[in-house]
């Protein structure tokens, strides 16, 4: 692992984005660049370095690599991992479970307080299958090994808050899709579960800035048909989503 590029602006928070080559990571890179100096962690793929960015190579499951990556940042936006609901145990064990452990532990060692953890709605997926309106306070009911791995990340985050003084914001991300996907797929669950790009960016930066030590929040837009509750995100983080899938249906 090593630094391969660095251009910084003075006087702003520095934020590490893991999984920067992923769908959400790329949107975060673009959406957060005007607020923060960014350090982007890639496992393999590397994009051109822009002003205010640093780029590092390595795996979040490699303790030495992630320790070096978090060193000197103010917050970590942890997006790295296997995002598939069909992911194998071997995959989620390394990329999601080992990866999030190494990330929290590296932050503890390097004195980085704030972690935004990209969790998933699949932590409570069986409520959705039963037609239950779901709040973050309900017990976990993961619907896949992927969901199990993200539930572990939430629980481990709670431990690191209570035991080591980290600050962890867990975002149970919904259907992160561009506007065009809502238009093309109108009538299915995306009308309830959609998270627009700009609302996702807002949710993340509000998570970075909020005076909250720990919280679990659903990450969706202000969808008329929503069955995941976002009131706690509104009240505790100041989240004010701009989009509603219904307007595109």
Residues carrying an active site annotation = 146
- What is the CA angle 237-196-28, rounded to 5? 70
The residues near 9 (Cβ < 8 Å, ≥ 6 apart) are 37, 51, 52
Phi-psi domain of 80 (left: phi exceeds 0; alpha: psi -120 through 50; beta: other): beta
State the Cα–Cα distance between residues 93 and 16, nearest whole angstrom: 22
The closest of 228, 226, 225 to 217, measured between CA atoms, is 228
CA distance 205 to 28: 9
Structure tokens at 186: 């109108």
Q: Per DSSP, what are the bridge partners of residue 54?
A: 6, 39
Q: Is 15 helix (H, G, I), strand (E, B) or coil?
A: strand
- Please give the Cα distance from 81 to 29 (Å, whole number): 17
- Distance, in Å, from the CA atom of 75 to the CA atom of 59, rounded to the nearest integer, reads 18
186 Cβ contact list (under 8 Å, min separation 6) = 248, 249
- Smallest CA-to-CA distance from 15 within 140, 99, 114, 142 is with 114
């Amino acid at each position: 692992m090593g630094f391969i590029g660095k251009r910084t602006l003075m006087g702003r928070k520095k934020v590490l984005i893991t999984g920067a080559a992923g769908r959400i990571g790329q949107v975060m890179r673009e959406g957060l660049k005007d607020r923060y100096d960014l350090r982007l962690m890639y496992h393999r793929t590397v994009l051109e370095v822009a002003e205010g960015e640093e780029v590092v190579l390595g795996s979040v499951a490699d303790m030495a690599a992630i320790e070096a990556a978090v060193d000197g940042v103010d917050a970590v936006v942890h997006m790295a991992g296997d995002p598939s609901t069909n992911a194998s145990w071997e995959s989620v064990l390394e990329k999601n479970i080992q990866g999030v452990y190494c990330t929290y532990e590296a932050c503890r060692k390097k004195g980085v307080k704030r972690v935004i953890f990209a969790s998933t709605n699949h932590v409570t997926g069986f409520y959705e299958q039963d037609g239950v309106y779901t709040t973050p306070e309900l017990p976990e009911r993961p619907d896949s090994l992927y969901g199990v791995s993200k539930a572990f990340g939430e629980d481990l985050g709670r431990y690191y808050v209570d035991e080591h003084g980290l600050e962890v914001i867990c975002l149970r991300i919904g259907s992160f899709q561009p506007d065009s996907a809502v238009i093309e797929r109108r009538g299915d669950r995306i009308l309830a579960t959609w998270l627009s790009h700009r609302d996702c960016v807002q949710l993340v930066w509000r998570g970075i800035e909020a005076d909250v030590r720990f919280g679990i929040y659903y990450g969706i837009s202000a969808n008329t048909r929503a069955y995941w509750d976002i009131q706690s995100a509104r009240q505790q983080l100041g989240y004010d989503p701009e989009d509603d899938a219904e307007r595109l249906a």
